[in-house]
Structure 1
Amino acid sequence: MSQLNIVATLKIKPEFRGAFQTIFKKLVEESQKEIGCIRYELNQSIDDPDVYIVIETWVSKQAINNHNLTPHFKAFASFAKDHTEKLDICIAKQVL
């Protein structure tokens, strides 16, 4: 299987901006060190400061599965569950 891309869009609750900065920083830094991670970046909407887009590229589905088991991802997912207004995740493969 070829590499896979993930685009995760989160709308955070404004009262948790500061807390998200800390958890996003750890998530990105630790994820970029993982075996199988090609790209892991955090973007912020220029129209809404509470909307963040995480763009990831992984070598395989197994690399994504391994990532989802890491302590930094689990901590992020647990926090995001109760502190976001909306979360959309799309896993895609490049076709062209």
Structure 2
Amino acid sequence: MIVINVFFDVLPECKEEFMTLLDDMIGKSTQEEGNRYYHLLEDLTQKNRYTLIEHWENQDAVNFHNKTSHWIHFDKTVNNFLNDTYEEHHYTEIPF
């Protein structure tokens, strides 16, 4: 499994547009084969900071996702609503 955490610092005046864009992308992404989980979290201590948590079956599913029209549109548009470029971290499970 691949886990991706994406961190956003949203401009206060752009919160509604950000949420609309994100809602569209998540709605389409969760229909993709290989997607296991999408969850959006709001930071309790830093206003307008959000974390998106994604779980994907494998790297092939992530690669497919990154070529979809909804992801490309999101990636080209989202920074218009942010204080700074989003930060993305990729992880894999370590079995115990």
Structure 2: where are the runs of 5+ without partners?
none
Structure 1 partner of 2:32 = 34
Higher-strand-fraction structure: 1
Residues 34-73 of structure 1: matches in 2 within 5 Å?
A: 34-73=32-71
Aligned residues: 94
Structure 2 partner of 1:19 = 17
Runs of at least 4 residues of structure 1 off by over 4 A? none
What RMSD over aligned residues (CA atoms) do the two structures have, in Å? 1.3
1:88 aligned partner, one-letter code:
E
TM-score of the pair, normalised by structure 2: 0.88
Q: Secondary structure at the match of 2:87?
A: strand
Structure 1 partner of 2:87 = 88
| TM-superposed deviation, 1:35 | 0.4
1:84 aligned partner, one-letter code:
L
1:94 aligned partner, one-letter code:
E
Structure 1: where are the runs of 5+ without partners?
none
- State the distance in 2 between where 1:30 and 1:50 align: 24
Q: Deviations over 1:20-55 (max 9, x none)?
A: 111111111111111000111111112233111010
1:38 aligned partner, one-letter code:
R
- State the distance in 1 between where 2:56 and 2:94 align: 15
Percent identity between matched residues is: 22
Q: Deviations over 1:59-96 (max 9, x none)?
A: 11111111111122112111123331231111001114
Bigger drift between 3-12 and 83-92 goes to 83-92
